[in-house]
Structure 1
Amino acid sequence: MKKRRTFALFAVSLGLLMAPAWSQAAPVKLRFSHSHNTSDSQHIAAVEFAKKVKERTQGGVEIQIFPNNQLGNDVSMVSGVRGGTVDIGATGTPFLSGIVPRLNALDTPYIFENPQHVAKVMDGAIGKSLLDELGNFQIKGLAFWEVGFRSLANSRRPVNKAEDIKGLKVRTTPNPAHIKAFQLLGAAPQPMPYAEVFSALETKAVDGHENPPNVMLSSKMFEVQKYLSLTRHAYTALVVFMNKKKFESLKPEYQKILLEEAAAAAIFQRNLNAKDEAATLAELRKQGMEINEKPDVESIKAIVKDETRKLFIDKHGDELIKAIDAAAR
């Protein structure tokens, strides 16, 4: 009996020694902030990301998600991640291009031909090199998710061609290419954080804004916007990024899992958006929006495409633009 008891104690001790190191420590808790509500694909992807990370680390990493600007708007989120008060953030490229200006290339109007072109750039060597540049600013880039292809909505009139945009006060991102594009079109661009857009539309401080239809639906922009034209004039990537020091403090196994699951969640979210696009447009119509699915995009492209590219090339050269173009082939 004594021998049996001794053997049992030995077996338990051996099992504890052989268990994965991460299962013995208290879980690492990471705070993940984003600016959209819980019905948006960004939040759904964040939930999926957190779930997979927890599963693969056997509970060693728990990601707590704070949606809808709970930890601050896009601008303060970037500051929070850099300063370490927020662990993980997700925001559109325009809110990070102030520190990594080459990110502006991704927002250049009509630079992407289709979703397949986007995926090749974001998930390939170009995307990785841009994420790596964030490392110089206390940030670890994890992956590019998506805001999506931007289209124009407003409360004043239908937009069928470039001329119809003239005179509209349009909320844009702070991206120089977005601002320049609407200036070229004769509009009055008004950059502001996303958290301020609904109230600005409601009070008529601006006439319209440009975002993907799924974002318009999840944020109920149909309550303050009547007309939507699928101009798809620019694509905006959603950068998922982490405090660099916090990332580097994690075990290598955890780091690898975070990077892999962030990349997997990017594909998950893009597929979700693509699958739901028709239903999104149908729901916006049901809510009273008039949608022009085939505006005269060529009239808009003729005015903005070359000039906005030139804006980037004059500052940063043409190497990155050419690489993005080549990825379409």
Structure 2
Amino acid sequence: MAYITRRAAMAVAGAAIMTLGFSGAASAQQEIKLGYALANTSHYGVAANKWEEVVEAEAGDRYSFTHFPSSGLGGEREVIEGLQLGTIEATIVSSGTLSNFVPETGVFDIPFLFRDLDHARTVLDGPIGQDILAKFSDAGLVALAWGEQGFRHITNNRNEIGGPDDVAGLKLRTMENPIHITAFETLGAAPTPMAWPEVIGALQQGTIDGQENPLSVITSAKLSEVQKYLTVSGHVYSPAMLLVSQQLWDGMSPEDQELFRKATSEAVTAMRGFVDEVETSGIAQLKEEGMEVGELTVEQKAAFQEALGGAYETYYETYSKDLIDRIIATK
């Protein structure tokens, strides 16, 4: 298993383009450049390593994985565009930019849509989630499985958060996700879409006050070093996705396609296991690292839901109320 840093990424990507015309018959081994935003020790890394492990256990040396963790190939949008071009073979990506490629994915980002992790996983693994995966073929991508980050929570350096008024004016980094942006604008915050590689520096410099992410990201990215307050808000469930390029997929035998499906399924199981563990231990860890932690009560969450009434009306204009009701009703 090889690892490439961001410094070398552009050179590698360029070399990949130059050598495309000479690969074919020269070597039977297919390189899989696998890019993802977080460190190899994160839930993304856990999934990436399991993906490689399962494929290489059954395919032998037909495939060779090279990992590009910590945004080594650029931001998530850049990586997905690389898959479309065929210069990158695979990625594990958050839902942040997915709605730019398949708008329907945005429905899962609606605040307070899911009751708990079991509810979210049942929806994603069932007909609703699988139908959306299939739509990625229209974007020149092959979506193999839904991964997971967990429920998103807010960190910041300005103040504790106990209600909607505490969010007003907060300069908050969000993903490039119109659903999230609408929600925070409705609450009176100042959402600031920003690619993940820029976030730590922006927090250190005070360009933004805070950000929102699952505990799996907050802990693995060591945000306790640059943030004072954690609000366990659980305002949005954050899925991830395991994607490969159409070019890679079309060049595979049916047997290898099935192997990749099996490998990504096992990768998702490992990823969810990591999230389960962090959901249990992450808050205690962050307290030990010095963060001031507050958890929204049921009543406080209800106040946020009421304050988001205007945003929900906007969501109904984009996603059918029937689809949203089906998700809520899933047992």
CA distance in 2, matches of 1:165, 1:313: 24
Aligned equivalent of 2:13: none
CA distance in 1, matches of 2:318, 2:61: 46
Q: How many residues align?
A: 303
CA distance in 1, matches of 2:139, 2:81: 10
Aligned equivalent of 2:257: 255
Instruction: Give a deviation string over 1:231-251, Cα, whole Å, max 9, x none.
Output: 000011111111112112111
Q: How far does residue 139 in structure 1 lie from its aligned partner after superposition?
A: 0.3
Q: Where in structure 1 do 4 or more consecutive aligned residues deviate above 3 Å? A: 306-309
Give TM-score, length-normalised by structure 1.
Answer: 0.88
Aligned equivalent of 2:6: none
Instruction: Give a deviation string over 1:221-272, Cα, whole Å, max 9, x none.
Output: 1111100010000011111111112112111111001112212211221122
CA distance in 2, matches of 1:111, 1:324: 8
Query: Which of 268, 290, 293 is equivalent to 2:292?
Result: 290
Q: How far does residue 89 in structure 1 lie from its aligned partner after superposition?
A: 1.3
- Do the aligned residues in 2 keep the contact of 1:108 with 1:308 (CA within 8 Å)? no
CA distance in 2, matches of 1:97, 1:238: 12
Aligned equivalent of 1:22: none
Q: How does 1:43-58 map to 2 (within 5 A)?
A: 43-58=45-60
Give TM-score, length-normalised by structure 2.
Answer: 0.88
SS of residue paired to 1:59:
helix
Instruction: Give a deviation string over 1:98-128, Cα, whole Å, max 9, x none.
Output: 1211111011111111111111111111111
CA distance in 1, matches of 2:310, 2:133: 26
1:315 maps to 2:311: no
Q: How far does residue 321 in structure 1 lie from its aligned partner after superposition?
A: 1.5
Listed as ranges, the gaps of 5+ residues in structure 2 are 1-26
Instruction: Give a deviation string over 1:20-51, Cα, whole Å, max 9, x none.
Output: xxxxx833221110010122111111101110
1:168 maps to 2:173: no
SS of residue paired to 2:121:
helix
Amino acid at match of 2:317: D
SS of residue paired to 1:58:
helix
Q: How far does residue 195 in structure 1 lie from its aligned partner after superposition?
A: 1.2
Aligned equivalent of 2:137: 135
Aligned equivalent of 1:37: 39
Q: How does 1:1-329 map to 2 (within 5 A)?
A: 26-295=28-297, 296-304=300-308, 306-327=309-330, 329=331
Instruction: Give a deviation string over 1:134-182, Cα, whole Å, max 9, x none.
Output: 1011100011111221001100111122221112111111211211111
Listed as ranges, the gaps of 5+ residues in structure 1 are 1-24
CA distance in 1, matches of 2:261, 2:137: 14
Amino acid at match of 1:142: L
Instruction: Give a deviation string over 1:193-214, Cα, whole Å, max 9, x none.
Output: 1111111111111101000122
- Do the aligned residues in 2 keep the contact of 1:177 with 1:311 (CA within 8 Å)? no
